[in-house]
Amino acid sequence: MVEHTDSAFDSEAFLTSAGLGRKLVNLIEGQHFFAQGDVADSVFYLRSGTAKLTVVSRSGKEATITQLMPGDFIGEESLASFGALHMATATAVTGCTAVNIERDEMLRALREEHPLSDKFMTFLLERGMRIQSDLVDQLFNSSEKRLARILVLMAGFGQPNHPEMLLPAITEESLAEMIGTQQSTVSFFLSRFRASGFIDYDGRIRVHKTLLNVLLHDRLPGNNTETPEIEDF
C-alpha cells in the first residue's frame, strides 16, 4: 500500500530558491533588473539589497517612483498581459540578490497556490500605499526629512529586538538620487544626524531608533523646511 503525503505549499521557498521557471540572480550596484521599454516577461522577488524604480520623460528628466526593499516584487506589470512593456527602470542601489520568475510560472503559482496569491495581493496593496506616501514625501517634505525617512525605511524598523540597524553599503550619491537632491546636501545632513546621535557613520551607516522617534514626532534638529520646486515633468 502506497502512502501519499500532502505537503503544504511553501511560498517563501518558492520565492527565494531556484527551480522550474525560477533562477537566482545577483546584481551589482547600478545594474538594471530591466529598463524602461523592455518587454515584461518575468517577475523578480528581491531577497536582499535595495533597488529603485525610475522613469524618464520624453524630455530626458528622470524621477524616482519608489524604493525597493527585500521582500518586494519587481516587474509585476508583466503579469497584466502578454507582451507588455516595462514602464519604468529597476536599478540595484546596492548589491542585490533576487529570484527571477518566468511569467507563466508565476501566473500558474498564483492561480493554484492561495498562500502565494494572498502574499502577492498584500504586496500590491502595500506598494500602492507606499508609492502614494513617497509622492507626498517628495512633493511636500524637506530634503532633510526625505533623507531621514529613506534611512528609516532602509533600516527596516519594525522588527523586534532591533534597536539599531546597519544599512547595506550605499554611497551619498545614491542617497541623493533617491531623494532628489545634491550629494553635498546629503553629506551635510548625515553629519548633522551623526552629531545628534541619530546615526553612526563611518563608511557604513548604522541607524538608531532615535531617528525614527524624531521623524514620527517631526522634531528634526533645525529642520530645513525648504521643499523642492515642482517642475513640469
- The boundaries of the domain holding residue 192 are 142-216
State whether 19 and 112 are in the same domain.
yes
Q: Which triple of cell numbers denotes residue 131?
A: 508609492
- Cβ-in-10-Å burial (0-12, 13-18, 19+) of 44 comes to buried
Residue 225 lies in a domain: no
Residue 72 lies in a domain: yes
Q: Domain count of the chain?
A: 2
For residue 139, the model assigns a pLDDT of 65
Whole-number CA gyration radius for the chain: 20
Q: Cα separation of 166 and 179, whole Å?
A: 20
State whether 95 and 174 are in the same domain.
no
Question: Tens digits of per-residue pLDDT, 6-61?
Answer: 467 899 999 999 999 999 999 999 999 999 999 999 999 999 998 989 898 888 88
State whether 74 and 126 are in the same domain.
yes
State whether 85 and 151 are in the same domain.
no
Question: Of 41, 35, 70, 74, which Cα lies nearest the Cα of 55?
Answer: 35
- Let me know the angle formed at the C-alpha of 80 by 74 and 86, rounded to the nearest 5 degrees: 50
The continuous run of DSSP H or E covering 120 comes out as helix 114-140
Residues of the chain with pLDDT under 50: 1-6, 160-161, 224-233
Residue 233 lies in a domain: no
Q: Which triple of cell numbers denotes residue 11?
A: 511560498
For residue 102, the model assigns a pLDDT of 97
State whether 17 and 56 are in the same domain.
yes
Residue 226 lies in a domain: no
For residue 185, the model assigns a pLDDT of 92
State whether 120 and 159 are in the same domain.
no
What single string gives the DSSP state of each residue in 161-224?
T-SEEEPPP--HHHHHHHHTS-HHHHHHHHHHHHHTTSEEEESEEEEEHHHHHHHHTT--TT--
State whether 53 and 28 are in the same domain.
yes
End position of a domain, from candidates 102, 137, 172: 137
pTM score, two decimals? 0.70
